[in-house]
Structure 1
Amino acid sequence: MAIGLYGGSFNPPHAAHRMVAETALEKLGLDRLWALVTPGNPLKDNRALPPAANRMAAARALLDNPRIVVTDVEAGIGAARTFEVVRHLKSRAPDVRFVWVMGADNLASLHGWGRWRELAGLTPIAVVDRPGGTFAPLSSRAAAVLRRSRIDERDAAGLAHMEPPAWAFLHGRRLDLSSTALRGRGASL
């Protein structure tokens, strides 16, 4: 089984989150995608973060697809970093082929994530293009470090079965939405 892991605060969830999830399901040939609603982001101010139960309910309503599971596994295991979550899941399900899924905007800041190099060595990564997020992320520090591990998008259907480090940059439909911009316009849960 191949499962995409798509983490985020989903504050609030929006149509671009759905597009990233659907692009990953389609291009990677995944059996499932798990939307991991984080209890907080160590790189952001979490003081105004709505309760996880509210964000999970909103994400479930948005990502209404039988192949998508919305979960708070990160809170359940007490993990604070993506690497810890992926390591835990891989140890609990060694026969599952996981792929970390993220929007291209996150590739630009990946080098600031705790243990990001170890994450890249633990599971393949799929980066889904976002408006205004194509060229800067591909020129980022993490992209430069992982340059030799990038596979062609035409081979992305096999990414889950590749030994890490391996990553692909995926193109598809794009919406110019972000949770930050929506919150700036007063959107909330």
Structure 2
Amino acid sequence: MIPTFGHHHRLRVGLLGGSFNPAHEGHLHVARQAMRHGGLDQLWLLVSPGNPLKTRDGMAPLPERLASARRIADGRRIIATDIEARLGTRYTADTLAELKRRFPAIHFVWLM
């Protein structure tokens, strides 16, 4: 869900990508700190379908990891999403380019 703001406010959305295998309090702490100190309107937890540079040994299935991330997200300002799987992107640069193309009014902030 993307909130609506006045005409003069450009939505700032932080992107925190990872495998979230499983999502935990450390992820939530980073998300909250980014929200607090980064001037973000929302933060999206980008649950990766799989890092193309890493083995999948020990990796839980995507639906399980997404459910784990949704349990720590509040669903309003911190949102867990599998958008990379739906976009078909695997590399950060491709994901960012596609998000910018689909959501041109949003200012995305990549978090590491």
What secondary structure is seen at the aligned counterpart in 2 of 1:47?
Answer: coil
Higher RCO (Cα < 8 Å, 6 or more apart): 2
**What is the alpha-carbon distance in structure 1 between the residues aligned to residue 49 and residue 93 of structure 2?**
15
Counterpart residue number, 1:127: none
Counterpart residue number, 1:48: 58
Identity within the alignment, %: 47
Supply the AA of the counterpart residue of 1:62. Answer: I
Answering whether residue 49 of structure 2 is matched by residue 39 of structure 1, we say: yes
Aligned residue runs from structure 1 range 106-185, under 5 A: none
Counterpart residue number, 2:87: 77
Answering whether residue 96 of structure 2 is matched by residue 86 of structure 1, we say: yes
**What is the alpha-carbon distance in structure 2 between the residues aligned to residue 70 and residue 54 of structure 1?**
12
Counterpart residue number, 1:17: 27
TM-score by length of 1: 0.52
Q: CA deviation at 1:66?
A: 2.3
Counterpart residue number, 1:4: 14
Q: Which has the higher helix share?
A: 1
**What is the alpha-carbon distance in structure 2 between the residues aligned to residue 65 and residue 91 of structure 1?**
24
What secondary structure is seen at the aligned counterpart in 1 of 2:16?
Answer: strand
**In structure 2, do the counterparts of structure 1 residues 65 and 23 end up closer, same or farther at CA, with 3 Å as the change threshold?**
farther
Counterpart residue number, 1:63: 73
What secondary structure is seen at the aligned counterpart in 2 of 1:74?
Answer: helix
Q: What are the ranges of 5 or more consecutive residues in structure 2 without an aligned counterpart?
A: 1-10
Supply the AA of the counterpart residue of 1:67. Answer: R
Which runs of structure 1 show a deviation greater than 6 angstroms over 4 or more consecutive aligned residues?
Answer: none
Supply the AA of the counterpart residue of 2:60. Answer: P
Cα RMSD for the two superposed structures: 1.1
CA displacement 1:142-174 (0-9 Å, x = unmatched): xxxxxxxxxxxxxxxxxxxxxxxxxxxxxxxxx
Q: What are the ranges of 5 or more consecutive residues in structure 1 without an aligned counterpart?
A: 103-189
Aligned length: 102
TM-score by length of 2: 0.86
**What is the alpha-carbon distance in structure 2 between the residues aligned to residue 37 and residue 44 of structure 1?**
15
Q: CA deviation at 1:65?
A: 5.3
